[in-house]
Structure formats: structure tokens, C-alpha cells
């Protein structure tokens, strides 16, 4: 393999002619031996043939001995090469330190530039590796694990593909099956842990006891759940994460047996999970709560806000869980899937349930884990990785520029070394080794940077994903080191060649004339590329920033600030409607008493839930055509409008004591139904009835799910006893801590009545945040990348122009002597900078324009070719050009004829 490398590289590493050289030496030595033996034999009176035969006899097996000698020789040569490499590196280190001392600013520039590029690359690679390449941590033999999907035809909800196997009866059909070991678990819930002043919120997942066995995890402390589950007296066992154990319990080994209230239910800590364990997902989970394999409906008890489980034990329509499977080492994925399909079909037939097109499919655990992260975030991560590679290239290009600059400055040193007998390759190797030292120092800085600033990127882009080792996996470290080495080689070879090209005499003559046309061209191309990349990054940043502004400008109708949404989870899934309404009304009274709550209202249609009702108008034979479907009906309690902040634009809001036959319609509906006339007092008929519901007010339109829905028409009616409430809205007093209040409300509601299992309380801001997150992440990160690239480009531009000016000192001096004004000299530099930026900018904008269709769907209400953004970026980069050119320009301006003479 070594032989296939180019000669220069081989010599560089002294891999060179190791084997042929050793072979030749061994052959020479043996040839001498036989020559001497024969000579002596002949002197003693033997014939040549006899002497040779005697020598062979004395020597033994020539072939075998020669092989031994060669082997020994090669080993020796390799050791010598390593020693010499280490000596060279040691020399390089000393050289690098000396040279760093001589050119402090330049060295600092190189290290900063490189560490920014490498740090960004390391961070983004760490993220993408977590998302795309690695299974979640701590799983044994993850290649045997699969996420179980269930495909079913004729089920319109799952029509486009398979869904997670999410109902208990089908799951139960797979239990106790050789060759595939399954375990069910729930989604992550944010649970209230503890009570009163010490209450906190923590992510929790419910798992069937076999979960840890299937994943092959071992506890750090204590034990996992017994299968079947045994209670700790009347207390339910719980496993806590290592991170939570270290944080909230101070890493106390006596934590086992400690009691903790989760969702208002008593639990006993029986074990601590290993550090970094996140189950099958990528999000941190602090509490693992056991689900009991149900033998009866009452047995299915859990603090988690799961749907009524009595129903779910027997119904396939209750989808509430996910399933992970471990395939036996010998069983094929296909065989296991078809066996699982057969079992589920049999179970369904036995229950007289639908078996049409039922099919089990397996999904890789890596893909399934990624599924818990937003698709936009995943794609954004890939884009950002690609961009970080570009930034790294920019950084390396800049280092080339800076090293070229140094190479030029140090050329006399190199020439001196060459005159003193160092071969050209030796000098180049020394230069490369110095660059290597610089790049490895940069890599170390980069990793520190990635650890510290990378946290910012990770939490902006993927706030939910847990990076156990702060994104610094061994692979990230290795890749960063390898990238550093490669970029050092790339960056050092050219400058070293430039530095060693000229002989000593030529150096003395040319030392002053630093600017050669060929090198200027190289500088120019590199700088233009940098500016182009900057343009692309800034366009991206601008587009995402516009998306964020557009999202934030969306009027949801609701006044999101200080609004909290609370919903109840009942023990029984199908509570009678009047009971539900009653429980909600009682809960609302409890919430109203919580300090910090300004007002409270109830609704059947909180954010994300919709209920439509057929509406007709008197005098029309058939119902009107409703664009976007039937109008949304919102049954609300009095005080709804003041609590949610939905403005009444005409008439009045609903009040307590209103009869059931009044309604408030939203503006969309009002202007559609009564474009010409006054809607107040108009009549609408609900549910096909002939009774009139009178319009008493008009409200502003509101969102139904979030930022991206098309507005349907909606109307508000008082609770008519038929539409169960689904949520409590509460407005906080000005200045109240919304999250703290949400927690207090949650612990007030949890267990406040035997029918209430638990509650789900969240501020509207938190509910909506995931919808804004991807744009915000894109805007923040692209701005960060862009700012980095721009600052690197300024350095690059500065380097080019500074060397251009230095090379033209003589010309400038002459021009100055001939009467050129200072302004003209300044302009000559600045205009050159602007011209160079102009080319790069055009390239970059053209690239962004052509690439626009690929990012279009990641944006919100902004064209990927938004002219405002393109113009803004152009202005910004021209400003950068002037900034980069100013210092060299001033230097040019100050050139005096005398300086030109000194340069001679």
C-alpha cells in the first residue's frame, strides 16, 4: 500500500524505499560473505565450485536465513522511521513555537480561524450523528431492535403507511412468542413530581416490565421492574434516570426505597437507570413508571395521563402505546414479521375484529428514534452540516492565505535552511509538521468551543434531544482530529512549495516583491468563494428571520401572553357528558382560587381540537355551501372572551344567564353570511333544527390549531349540555410567572376528585413553541453561521488586500510622488475590494437563487427568492468589502515616496 503512494508523500513520511533498500543491504552483505568464503577456499587450494559448495554447507539454508534477515531489517527500518518522524515533529513543535513567537497576530489568526471552522463542523457532525447514524445510548445489540409498525388497509387514519403498533390487544397477541421479544411503552409525559413548594416537572415514560429486558439495559443502581410487576406494599415502584439521581437526589446511593409522589400518586424508587439511557427515543426521560399487565380493568392503574384504560385493554381502537421488539439473533426480520402478522390476525379473528390487510412491519430503531424529532429540524440539521463543511472550507482557505503570508515572510528562513543542506522535501515536511501542530492546537480549541458554544446550537435546534456526552462522542473527537490533520496538509503544502521554490539568491532579490500574479489569482479565487458562501448563508439567515417575523406577526386571535390551557384526564374514558361538564366546572372553581389567576373560562374546543356543526339559515331550502367545511362550534363558559383575549368587534360577548339560543359569530362567518346586512339579530339554525339562534355579537377570527391553519368560520354558543368541555383557559395576573403558575394549577387539579386521573397544564406559549421552533432555530443558527463566515471573509479580504498593497508599495509611492491624491490611493484599494466582493456576491446570490426551491418548504409565508432579503444581503456584504478594505486602504493612503524607496 505504501508503494502506491506518490513518491513525495512516501518520502515525506519516510515510508520510501524501505523494503527494496533493506533487501539490497541484506543481499550485499550475503554476497560479500560468499565472495570472501570462495576467495579463501580458492587460496586454500579448492576449485571455485568446491569452495562455493563448502560455503553453502557452512551457511545453512540461504533462502530461510535471508528471509529472517530481511524481516529483521524491515522492522529496524520502521522503528528508525518512527524515531525520525518523532524527532521531526519535535523540531516542528519547537519551530512552530518559535515561528508563533515571531508572528503572534498571524498565529492567533490561524488558530482562531481554524478552531471556529473545526468547532462548528464538530458540533454539527455530533448533531447529525445523533439524529441519523446512532441508535439511542445504552441499548444492547441495537441492530436486533426494531420499532413495531402495524399496517392496515381500510383504515383511513393509517392509509398512507404503517402506524406504530399502539393498541393493547394486538400487542398482547405478540407476547410469549419465541424469536421476537416485545415490550410496550408510552410517549413521554411531563409529570408533576413531588408536591407543594418542592413540586417540579419532569419527563416520564410508562413501560411494561419487560421493557428493560428487551432493550438489554442494566441498572446503575438497584433493580428494574419484576415481570410480572410486584408493588412495594401499596406503592408503585419507579426507576429514576442517572441524571435525575445526580441532580435532584445528589447521587445518594440511599435513594433506593425513597418515596416520591408522581402525578399525585405515591411511588418508591427501586432503581437508577444507567447514564445516557433515553429508552428508544432521543429525549431525556427522568422517571420510568411501570405499566401493569392488566388482568382486570382496575388493575390498569397509572399516574400517567393515559386514556381510560379499562376500555383500552380490550379495544383495538384505543391507540396509546408504542412497541419495541428484539429479534432473536438467528431470526430473520421477514420471518419474524410474518409470524407476528399471523398471530395478530389470529387474535383478531378470535375477537371477530377486522383483519383486512393487517401486516406487521419493522422499522430500524435509529429511524424510529429520529421520528420523535421534527422533520424540519432533521432537514435543517443536514443543511447546517453541509454549511458547516463550507465554513470549514472557508476557514481552511483563509489559513492558506495566512500561511502563504507567513511563508512569504519566512521564505528567507526556508532558503537559509535549504542552503544549509536541508532537502526541499525536508523543509516542506517541516512546514507541514508546523501546520499540523497549529491545526491540532486549533482542534483542541475547537472541541472546547464545540462543548461550550455547541450547547447553544444543540439547545436552539433540538431542545428536546438529550446529548449525554455533550455531543463529544469518540467518533466526533476522531473525526475532528482527522479533519484537522487533513486540512493542515492541504493548507501547508502550497505555502511551503511557494516558500521553497526559489533559491537563496533569488530570495534575496525578490524578498521585497511579494506579490506574484499567480499567487494573487489564488488569493482572489479563494476570497471570491468565501464571499459567495457568505452570501448563501446570509440569504438563508434572512429568509428564516423573515419566517420568524411572519410567524410572530400572525394574529392568532387569542392573546397568547399569560394564557394557560389546562385539560383533565379522567379515570373513565367515556364519562357521561353532564358529569364531564360538572367536573370541569368544579375544576374551574378550584383553579380560580389559585393565587395569580385573573380569570378562568371553559371551552369544548381548545387549541388543536375542533367540533363542527351543520348550520342552516331560515328561508334556505338547503344548507349554504361552506368553504372549508361546516362552521366550527365552540361551546364556551361566560368570561371566555375576556379570558382568552378574543376581541368582540360588534355587539356583545356571551354572558352568564344567556339563554341557549344566542351566539357570537366570528368575522369570517359574519362577512360570508351577511356581506351586506347587519349580522346582529340575525338567525342561524343549528343541527338542522328550525329553532332560531340569534347572533348577539361578532368576534375576531381565531386560530384552531396554530400558525399554519386556514381560517374556518366559527361561532360561539353557551354550554348547551351536549358538548363536553375539553379545557380550562386561565389568564394570569400581569407579572405572574406563567410556568410556575401552570405547575401550581397542575398540582391543584391532580387528584382533586376521584374521577380525575391527572391534568395536563401548559402555557399557550409552550404549546405553540414547537411550531415556531424550527424557524427560530434556522434564523438563529444561520445568522450565527453567517456571522462567522462573514468575519472569516473579512479576514480573508483583509489578507488579500493587505498583501496587494504591500506588493504595490513601490507603485503607490511613485504614484504619490507623481501627485496622486490620498483619496485616489484609498479608492484604488477600496474599489478593488468592492470589485472582488462583487464577483463573489453575484456567484453567491446566483447560487441562492437556484437553490431556492429546495428550502422553500422550510419557510413560513416568505418566498425563497424574497427580493428584500437578496437586496439586504448585497448591501451587507458590500459593507463588509469596505470594512475589509479600509485598513489596507489607509495603509496605501499613507504611503510616501520615501517608503517606496525604502522598499527597494
Shortest Å, Cβ 51 to other proteins: 13
How far is Cα 775 from Cα 551, in angstroms, rounded to an integer? 9
Beta carbons of 382 and 128 less than 8 angstroms apart: yes
x-marked contacts with other proteins along 825-864 as a string, rule CB under 8 A: ----------------------------------------
Handedness of CA 626, 632, 635, 636 (dihedral sign): negative
x-marked contacts with other proteins along 10-49 as a string, rule CB under 8 A: ---------------x--xxx-xx-xxx-x----------
Among residue numbers 793 through 832, which ones bind other proteins (CB under 8 A)? none
83 or 513: whose CB is closer to other proteins? 83
User: Is residue 456 part of the contact set for other proteins (CB under 8 A)?
Assistant: no
How far is Cα 726 from Cα 45, in angstroms, rounded to an integer? 119
59 or 854: whose CB is closer to other proteins? 59
How far is Cα 245 from Cα 242, in angstroms, rounded to an integer? 5
Shortest Å, Cβ 42 to other proteins: 12
Number of residues that bind other proteins (CB under 8 A): 24
Shortest Å, Cβ 216 to other proteins: 45
Shortest Å, Cβ 432 to other proteins: 30
75 or 740: whose CB is closer to other proteins? 75
30 or 882: whose CB is closer to other proteins? 30
Classify residue 324 by burial, with Cβ atoms within 10 Å: 0-12, 13-18, 19+.
Answer: buried
How far is Cα 247 from Cα 1, in angstroms, rounded to an integer? 52
76 or 349: whose CB is closer to other proteins? 76
Q: Tell me the DSSP string of 33-93.
A: HHHHHHHHHHHTT--HHHHHHHHHHHH--HHHHHHHHHHHHHHHHHHHHHHHHHHHHHHHH
83 or 655: whose CB is closer to other proteins? 83
- Cβ contacts of 683 within 8 Å, gap of 6 or more: 617, 618, 692, 693, 694, 695
* Cα distances (angstroms) measured from residue 446 to each of 92, 439, 452, 531: 21, 10, 10, 23
Q: What is the CB neighbour count within 10 angstroms for residue 130?
A: 25
* Cα distances (angstroms) measured from residue 9 to each of 86, 428, 497, 805: 17, 11, 14, 36
> How many residues can be counted in the chain?
904
25 or 630: whose CB is closer to other proteins? 25
How far is Cα 588 from Cα 602, in angstroms, rounded to an integer? 8
Shortest Å, Cβ 134 to other proteins: 45
Classify residue 295 by burial, with Cβ atoms within 10 Å: 0-12, 13-18, 19+.
Answer: exposed
Shortest Å, Cβ 60 to other proteins: 3
35 or 894: whose CB is closer to other proteins? 35
66 or 201: whose CB is closer to other proteins? 66
Q: Tell me the DSSP string of 815-856.
A: HHHTT--HHHHHHHHHHHHHHHHHHHHHHHHHHHHHHHHHHG
Shortest Å, Cβ 63 to other proteins: 10
* Cα distances (angstroms) measured from residue 12 to each of 5, 177, 429: 11, 61, 6
Shortest Å, Cβ 3 to other proteins: 24
Half-sphere CA count of 731, side-chain side, radius 13 A: 17
Place of cell 400572525: 554
Shortest Å, Cβ 24 to other proteins: 11
Among residue numbers 883 through 902, which ones bind other proteins (CB under 8 A)? none
How far is Cα 895 from Cα 719, in angstroms, rounded to an integer? 85
Shortest Å, Cβ 74 to other proteins: 11
Shortest Å, Cβ 45 to other proteins: 17
13 or 32: whose CB is closer to other proteins? 32
Shortest Å, Cβ 43 to other proteins: 11
72 or 733: whose CB is closer to other proteins? 72
73 or 542: whose CB is closer to other proteins? 73
* Cα distances (angstroms) measured from residue 7 to each of 14, 17, 24, 58: 10, 9, 19, 41
Shortest Å, Cβ 32 to other proteins: 5
64 or 734: whose CB is closer to other proteins? 64
* Cα distances (angstroms) measured from residue 144 to each of 100, 346, 656: 52, 25, 61
Among residue numbers 49 through 88, which ones bind other proteins (CB under 8 A)? 55, 58-62, 64-65, 68-69, 72-73, 75-76
**Residues in contact with other proteins by the rule CB under 8 A:** 25, 28-30, 32-33, 35-37, 39, 55, 58-62, 64-65, 68-69, 72-73, 75-76
Amino acid at each position: 500500500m505504501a508503494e502506491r503512494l506518490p513518491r513525495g508523500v512516501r518520502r515525506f513520511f519516510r515510508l520510501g524505499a524501505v523494503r527494496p533498500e533493506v533487501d539490497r543491504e541484506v543481499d550485499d552483505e550475503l554476497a560479500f560473505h560468499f565472495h570472501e568464503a570462495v576467495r579463501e577456499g580458492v587460496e586454500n587450494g579448492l576449485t571455485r565450485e568446491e569452495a562455493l559448495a563448502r560455503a553453502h554447507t557452512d551457511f545453512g539454508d540461504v533462502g530461510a536465513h535471508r528471509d529472517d534477515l530481511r524481516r529483521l531489517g524491515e522492522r529496524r527500518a520502521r522503528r528508525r522511521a518512527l524515531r525520525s518522524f518523532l524527532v521531526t515533529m519535535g523540531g516542528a513543535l519547537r519551530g512552530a513555537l518559535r515561528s508563533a513567537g515571531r508572528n503572534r497576530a498571524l498565529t492567533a489568526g490561524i488558530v482562531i480561524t481554524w478552531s471556529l471552522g473545526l468547532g462548528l463542523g464538530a458540533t454539527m457532525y455530533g448533531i447529525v450523528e445523533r439524529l441519523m447514524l446512532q441508535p439511542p445510548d445504552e441499548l444492547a445489540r441495537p441492530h436486533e431492535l426494531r420499532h413495531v409498525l402495524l399496517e392496515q388497509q381500510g383504515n383511513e387514519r393509517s392509509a398512507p403507511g404503517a402506524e406504530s403498533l399502539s393498541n393493547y390487544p394486538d400487542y398482547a397477541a405478540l407476547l410469549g412468542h419465541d424469536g421476537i421479544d416485545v415490550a410496550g411503552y408510552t410517549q413521554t409525559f411531563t409529570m408533576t413530581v413531588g408536591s407543594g413548594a418542592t413540586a417540579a416537572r419532569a419527563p416520564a415514560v410508562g413501560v411494561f416490565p419487560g421493557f428493560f429486558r428487551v432493550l438489554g439495559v442494566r441498572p446503575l443502581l438497584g433493580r428494574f421492574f419484576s415481570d410480572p410487576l410486584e408493588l412495594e406494599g401499596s406503592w408503585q415502584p419507579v426507576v429514576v434516570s442517572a441524571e435525575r439521581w445526580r441532580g435532584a437526589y445528589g447521587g445518594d446511593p440511599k435513594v433506593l426505597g425513597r418515596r416520591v409522589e408522581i402525578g399525585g400518586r405515591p411511588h418508591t424508587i427501586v432503581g437508577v437507570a444507567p447514564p445516557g439511557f433515553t429508552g428508544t427515543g432521543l429525549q431525556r426521560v427522568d422517571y420510568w413508571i411501570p405499566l401493569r399487565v392488566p388482568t382486570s380493568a382496575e388493575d390498569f392503574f397509572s399516574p400517567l395521563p393515559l386514556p381510560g384504560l379499562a376500555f383500552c385493554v380490550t379495544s383495538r381502537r384505543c391507540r396509546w402505546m408504542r412497541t419495541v421488539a428484539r429479534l432473536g439473533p438467528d431470526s430473520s426480520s421477514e420471518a419474524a414479521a410474518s409470524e407476528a402478522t399471523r398471530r395478530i390476525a389470529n387474535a383478531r379473528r378470535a375477537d371477530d375484529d377486522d383483519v383486512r390487510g393487517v401486516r406487521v412491519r419493522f422499522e430500524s430503531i435509529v429511524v424510529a428514534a429520529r421520528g420523535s424529532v421534527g422533520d424540519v429540524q432533521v432537514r435543517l440539521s443536514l443543511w447546517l452540516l453541509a454549511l458547516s463543511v463550507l465554513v470549514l472550507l472557508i476557514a481552511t482557505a483563509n489559513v492558506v492565505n495566512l500561511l502563504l503570508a507567513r511563508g512569504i515572510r519566512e521564505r528567507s528562513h526556508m532558503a537559509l535552511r535549504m542552503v544549509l543542506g536541508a532537502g526541499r522535501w525536508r523543509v516542506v515536511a517541516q512546514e507541514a509538521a508546523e501546520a499540523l501542530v497549529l491545526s491540532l492546537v486549533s482542534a483542541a480549541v475547537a472541541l472546547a468551543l464545540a462543548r461550550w458554544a455547541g450547547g447553544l446550537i444543540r439547545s436552539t435546534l433540538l431542545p428536546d434531544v438529550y446529548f449525554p456526552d455533550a455531543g463529544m462522542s469518540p467518533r466526533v473527537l476522531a473525526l475532528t482530529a482527522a479533519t484537522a490533520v487533513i486540512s493542515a496538509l492541504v493548507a501547508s503544502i502550497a505555502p511551503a512549495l511557494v516558500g521553497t521554490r526559489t533559491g537563496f539568491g533569488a530570495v534575496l532579490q525578490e524578498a521585497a516583491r511579494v506579490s506574484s500574479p499567480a499567487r494573487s489569482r489564488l488569493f482572489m479565487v479563494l476570497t471570491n468563494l468565501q464571499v459567495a458562501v457568505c452570501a448563501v448563508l446570509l440569504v438563508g439567515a434572512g429568509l428564516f428571520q423573515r419566517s420568524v417575523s411572519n410567524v410572530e406577526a400572525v394574529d392568532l386571535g387569542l392573546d397568547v401572553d399569560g394564557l394557560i390551557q389546562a385539560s383533565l384526564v379522567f379515570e373513565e374514558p367515556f364519562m357521561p357528558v353532564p358529569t364531564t361538564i360538572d367536573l370541569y366546572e368544579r375544576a374551574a372553581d378550584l383553579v380560580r382560587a389559585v393565587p395569580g389567576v385573573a380569570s378562568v373560562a371553559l371551552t369544548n374546543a381548545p387549541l388543536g381540537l375542533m367540533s363542527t356543526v351543520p348550520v342552516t339559515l331560515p328561508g334556505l331550502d338547503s344548507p349554504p355551501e361552506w368553504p372549508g367545511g361546516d362552521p366550527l362550534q365552540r361551546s364556551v363558559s361566560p368570561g371566555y372572551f375576556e379570558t382568552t383575549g378574543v376581541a368582540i368587534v360588534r355587539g356583545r360577548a356571551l354572558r352568564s344567564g344567556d339563554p341557549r339560543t344566542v351566539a357570537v359569530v366570528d368575522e369570517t362567518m359574519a362577512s360570508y353570511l351577511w356581506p351586506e346586512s347587519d349580522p346582529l339579530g340575525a338567525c342561524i339554525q343549528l343541527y338542522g333544527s328550525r329553532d332560531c339562534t340569534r347572533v348577539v355579537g361578532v368576534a375576531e377570527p381565531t386560530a384552531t390549531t396554530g400558525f399554519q391553519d386556514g381560517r374556518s368560520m366559527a361561532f360561539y354558543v353557551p354550554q348547551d349540555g351536549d358538548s363536553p368541555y375539553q379545557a380550562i383557559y386561565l389568564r394570569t395576573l400581569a407579572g405572574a410567572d406563567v410556568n410556575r403558575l401552570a405547575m401550581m394549577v397542575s398540582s391543584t387539579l391532580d387528584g382533586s376528585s376521584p374521577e380525575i386521573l391527572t391534568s395536563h397544564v401548559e402555557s399557550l406559549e409552550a404549546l405553540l413553541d414547537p411550531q415556531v421552533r424550527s424557524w427560530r432555530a434556522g434564523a438563529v443558527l444561520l445568522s450565527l453561521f453567517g456571522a462567522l463566515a462573514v468575519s472569516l471573509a473579512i479576514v480573508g479580504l483583509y489578507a488579500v488586500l493587505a498583501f496587494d498593497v504591500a506588493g504595490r508599495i513601490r507603485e503607490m509611492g511613485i504614484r504619490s510622488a507623481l501627485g496622486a491624491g490620498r483619496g485616489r490611493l484609498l479608492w484604488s484599494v477600496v474599489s478593488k475590494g468592492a470589485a472582488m466582493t462583487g464577483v463573489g456576491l453575484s456567484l453567491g446570490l446566483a447560487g441562492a437563487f437556484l437553490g431556492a426551491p429546495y428550502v422553500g418548504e422550510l419557510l413560513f409565508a416568505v418566498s425563497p427568492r424574497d427580493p428584500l432579503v437578496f437586496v439586504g444581503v448585497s448591501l451587507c456584504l458590500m459593507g463588509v468589502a469596505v470594512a475589509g478594505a479600509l485598513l489596507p486602504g489607509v495603509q496605501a493612503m499613507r504611503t510616501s515616496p520615501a517608503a517606496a524607496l525604502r522598499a527597494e
